[in-house]
Amino acid sequence: MNIFKKLKTRHNPKSSALDLLKYIGPGLLVTVGFIDPGNWATNLAAGADFGYALLWVITFSSVMLIIIQHNVAHLGIVTGLCLAEAANKYMPKAVSRPILGSAVLAGISTSMAEILGGAIGLQMLFHIPIKIGAVIVTLACGILLLSNAYKRIERWVIMIVSLIGLSFIYELFLVDVNWGEAVTGWVKPTFPENSMLIIMSVLGAVVMPHNLFLHSEVIQSREWNLEDDKVIRKQLKFEFFDTLLSMVIGWAINSAMIILAAATFHRHHMKADELEQAKELLTPLVGNSAGIIFAGALLLAGVSSTITSGIAGASVFAGFFGEAYNYKDLHSKIGVAVSFIPALLIIFLIDEPFKGLIFSQMLLSIQLPFTVFTQVYLTSSKKVMGQYVNTKGTTALLLILGLLVTGLNIVLLVSLF
């Protein structure tokens, strides 16, 4: 009872603008994934190869992300369970285990991209070979996670990486952008020849399955489900603003990257097949220091997103045992290792890092429907959500989004074979 009272005092919200700011956070943590190395690579390729034509993928992905992130946050607030825990508890094991297993594989793919990005940053800064850099990033992130030391620097890293991301937006005023084509690209879906791999990679880079597990994990850890109905409803409202703000920021940063790549590379018919080339996007802003600043930003983005990927992977693995993420718990520690070690081994096997980043993001888009349909099942169940169960309209909308992604995956597979 004392714990309940303590939680109730801590979480009791007041209706004010300042109070709203207290609840801004989980969405911003998820937004780190918007400017991770995988995003940088896919956006660079999209803008360089197809100009402004694939901006619609960012719009579609961001709208989709607002809807499904908002929905999965509801699951965490109402039930006090993350997505993995809820799947383990409320779905037959024969169904939930393969789904969570595929999510673990997606987490490995995500970690591979994040570690690789950090390693490329180290190579650019200190000329450290990619594979050695990957080992350094993996060990550093593992130590920060397993000791929980990351919490001490988390806000600083997110702030710095976010500033770099926002600098891309600022640069839009410094380069010659064809805004007519950009606006058309945002709202008009087109499928240029040989673009499906990039389309699905951009989609996977924005709507990352591990971020759905991460968001529900961060939300449930606040234990708002222990509050009364009035408090829970207020949290649901605050969470929407947090999600909306964070996803709009992500949409703007991703759009800016593609636009800058289109104006810098596509306009001059330049091929972009290395992530290091993205430093040229910062040249109009900082001149000859662009390479150093880009490398530093890439390293920070790689480290911060590797850690969030590790948390998500550990959350999924712990979910197999009906547990939430806890850095002191054995299952969570194993989950971090399962996410990082195979990712590191893959990096040792690939010859072309840039293509590795692209394909890793494509794999995320292939796993995405499994996570979305699992989420829809759980949040549409009155047994799980009680009075906060999805409306029929919400369920229908989520199913449509899941079917659209499934359809795009089918088109991708047909185009590949």
Q: Which residue has the higher pLDDT, 117 or 245?
A: 117
Q: What is the DSSP string of 128-170?
A: --HHHHHHHHHHHHHHHHHTTTHHHHHHHHHHHHHHHHHHHHH
29, pLDDT greater than 70: no
DSSP 391: P
Residues recorded for the chain: 417
Q: Where are the domains of the chain?
A: 25-416
1-15, 100-114, 254-268, range with the lowest pLDDT: 1-15
**99, two tokens:** 């789904």
Provide the pLDDT for residue 154.
63
Provide the pLDDT for residue 91.
95
**215, two tokens:** 């968001």
Fold topology of 25-416: Amino acid/polyamine transporter I (1.20.1740)
Mean pLDDT of the region 71-85: 88
Q: What is the DSSP string of 387-404?
A: GGPPPHHHHHHHHHHHHH
Provide the pLDDT for residue 21.
42
Mean pLDDT of the chain: 82
274, pLDDT greater than 80: no
Question: In this structure, are residues 36 and 305 in contact, taking their beta carbons and an 8 Å threshold?
Answer: yes
DSSP 389: P
**198, two tokens:** 């990039």
Pick the closest to residue 176 from 312, 284, 15 (CA basis).
284
As a whole number of angstroms, the distance between CA 144 and CA 87 comes to 28
Provide the pLDDT for residue 326.
85
Q: Tens of pLDDT along 87-98?
A: 999 999 999 999
Provide the pLDDT for residue 36.
75
Angle at 151 between CA 150 and CA 152, to 5 degrees: 90
Q: Tens of pLDDT along 285-341?
A: 656 676 777 788 788 888 888 988 898 899 999 988 888 888 889 999 999 999 999
Mean pLDDT of the region 43-58: 94
In the chain, the amino acid numbered 244 is: L
